[in-house]
Amino acid sequence: MTFDTVYILPSYFDLQLTEFQTAHCLFISELRILLEAQRESKERNAENRPQTNVLQKTMNYVQSFSRFTNMESVREVRSLLKESELSHFEIAQLANLCCDDAEEAKALIPRNTNKLVMEHSLHNKIDDDRLQELMNQMLTIKKFQG
């Protein structure tokens, strides 16, 4: 079997999602907290609407990949990363991936290929030492979360 066609998928920065340019990105942990609160609210109000297959799969996903388990930890991480000059997308990616080191984070988070925005990407606006410091602080929050 041979494959002749190569598909190159656009990165986050290549997409033209103009209506979402000012939207804030949620952490997977934040989405898990929101979905659990919604589920608890439905249970308290005795709503009998069945949970959809998509919602159940989403819940399974966020429970598997949520790095921070409580609201206080999520707030600490958001506050920590908000102090940096990173974009909302980069902040969410750092929190979702929760990498061990700066090199790993820079390898996994897409580089901005748009020359007009390149100077503002993770790869150019934060040095490795500062990024490593952020990674270490996030890992400490994760380790000691209640």
Domain ranges of the chain: 51-146
> What pTM does this model have?
0.77
* pLDDT confidence of residue 21: 66
Please tell me which residue, 47 or 34, carries the higher pLDDT value.
Answer: 34
With a CB cutoff of 8 Å and minimum separation 6, the contacts of 109 are 90, 93, 94, 97, 122
pLDDT-derived band of residue 113, with 50, 70 and 90 as boundaries? very low
Task: Specify the CATH superfamily of domain 51-146.
Answer: RNA Polymerase II, Rpb4 subunit (1.20.1250.40)
Report pLDDT for 49. 75
Mean pLDDT over 50-71 rounds to 93
What does the pLDDT look like over 12-31, one tens digit per residue? 556 566 676 677 899 999 99
